Amino acid sequence: MSATLSGAAAGRSDACGGGWLGRVDPRVRIVAATAFAVVVVACDALPVLALALLPALALLAASGLPPGPTLRRMAAMDSFILFILVLLPFTVPGEPIFTIWGFQASHEGLAQAVRIALTANAAILALMALVGTMEPVTLGHALHRLRVPATLVHLLMFTVRYIDVLREEYLRLRQAMKARGFRPATDRHTYRSIGFLLGMMLVRAMERSERILGAMKCRGFTGQIPLVAEMRVGAADIAFATGFAAVLAGLLAAELALAAV
């Protein structure tokens, strides 16, 4: 439905996601992704965190997402986070392992940077495999069933619905600017022009939303949007949830065992 968002999960073959994971109940997948992230964040031991990448990779294989682009997406972080990770070995005091330009890198700092990188990658990979394969609309319905407030779910649905429309509008405006000789550079003219572009998009968005509300009222909108999606937890979902819980328990047990040593 949303090309901008599903472009992210390029290669998604059908509404449920390509792999068998797509047939697991969406609510179970959302809860599983959250539980996995919490467990991984709670773990500290490096071997356990490395081990946690395995279930995340298994989920990726089962999700039907294209492995290459998804792994690239997983590894991509904001430059400021990368920057912090690179600096950590030099700012955490501890046993020195190597020196660059007179700056000492500590073993502890390096370990912490690796720990953060492993945690972040495992958690986000599991999230993309479990939840990113859903249709955004299914995500909204599942969140509603998980008792997320209806207003927030509606806001999510509207946002998802109009991201593509507005992106196309943005590209149209950009093309019109290009046709008139606009070339982005580092100058005031560029920033002013892009600012005007954003202002124009806001104005058009507002006017569009007025038309939408009018059309909704015209069709008998009374302030309630019914969310109807049938979701049933079946035997396969319970099996998946049990297996996944066992994996999480295993990770926690390994963490505790290593912490005790």
Partner 1 sequence: MHIVDGALSNPVVIAGAVLGAAGVARGLRDLPMEKIPAAGVLSATFFVASLVHVPIGPSSVHLIMNGLAGLVLGWAAFPALFVGLLLQAVFFGFGGITVLGVNTFNIAAPAVIVWWLCGRQVQRCSPRTAAIWAGIGGALAIALTTLFVALALRLTGEAFLPAAKLVFLAHIPIMVIEGLLSAAAVYLAKQVKPELFGNVAEAAS
> Which CB atom, from 20 or from 221, has the smaller least distance to partner 1?
221
- Cα–Cα distance, 101 to 20 (Å, whole number): 52
Give the shortest CB-235-to-partner 1 separation in angstroms.
Answer: 27
The phi, psi pair for 100, rounded to 5°, reads -125, 125
Q: Is 83 an interacting residue with respect to partner 1 (CB under 8 A)?
A: yes
- Structure-block tokens of residue 64: 């039907």
Give the shortest CB-175-to-partner 1 separation in angstroms.
Answer: 14
| Of the residues 57, 104, 107, 115, which one makes contact with partner 1 according to CB under 8 A | 115
Which residue from 154, 171, 173, 167 is spatially nearest to 212, judged by alpha carbons?
154
Size of site (CB under 8 A) for partner 1: 90
> Which CB atom, from 77 or from 231, has the smaller least distance to partner 1?
77
> Which CB atom, from 104 or from 159, has the smaller least distance to partner 1?
159
Coil, strand or helix at 181: coil
Q: Which of residues 12-41 bind partner 1 (CB under 8 A)?
A: 33-34, 37-38, 40-41
Q: Which of residues 57-76 bind partner 1 (CB under 8 A)?
A: 70, 73-74, 76
Binding characters for partner 1, 129-158, by CB under 8 A (x = yes): --xx---x--x---------x-xx-xxxxx
DSSP 183: -
- What is the secondary structure of 56-111 as a DSSP string? HHHHHHHHT--HHHHHHHHH---HHHHHHHHHHHHHS-S-EEEEETTEEEEHHHHH
Q: Is 124 an interacting residue with respect to partner 1 (CB under 8 A)?
A: yes
Phi-psi region of 228 (alpha: psi -120 to 50; beta: other; left: phi over 0): beta
- Residue pair 13/64 in contact by the 8 Å Cβ criterion: yes
- Cα–Cα distance, 19 to 16 (Å, whole number): 8
Q: Is 123 an interacting residue with respect to partner 1 (CB under 8 A)?
A: yes
Give the shortest CB-200-to-partner 1 separation in angstroms.
Answer: 6
Give the shortest CB-143-to-partner 1 separation in angstroms.
Answer: 9
The single-letter code of the amino acid at 110 is L
- Cα–Cα distance, 50 to 218 (Å, whole number): 56
| Of the residues 170, 250, 254, 258, which one makes contact with partner 1 according to CB under 8 A | 170
Sole window of 55-63, 122-130, 228-236, 238-246 interacting with partner 1 (rule: CB under 8 A): 122-130
Give the shortest CB-79-to-partner 1 separation in angstroms.
Answer: 9
Neighbours of 216 (CB within 10 A): 13
Neighbours of 173 (CB within 10 A): 16
| Of the residues 16, 56, 88, 142, which one makes contact with partner 1 according to CB under 8 A | 88
- Structure-block tokens of residue 204: 């058009």
Q: Which of residues 175-234 bind partner 1 (CB under 8 A)?
A: 184-186, 188, 190-196, 198-203, 205-210, 212-213, 216, 221, 223-225
Give the shortest CB-38-to-partner 1 separation in angstroms.
Answer: 6
> Which CB atom, from 22 or from 136, has the smaller least distance to partner 1?
136
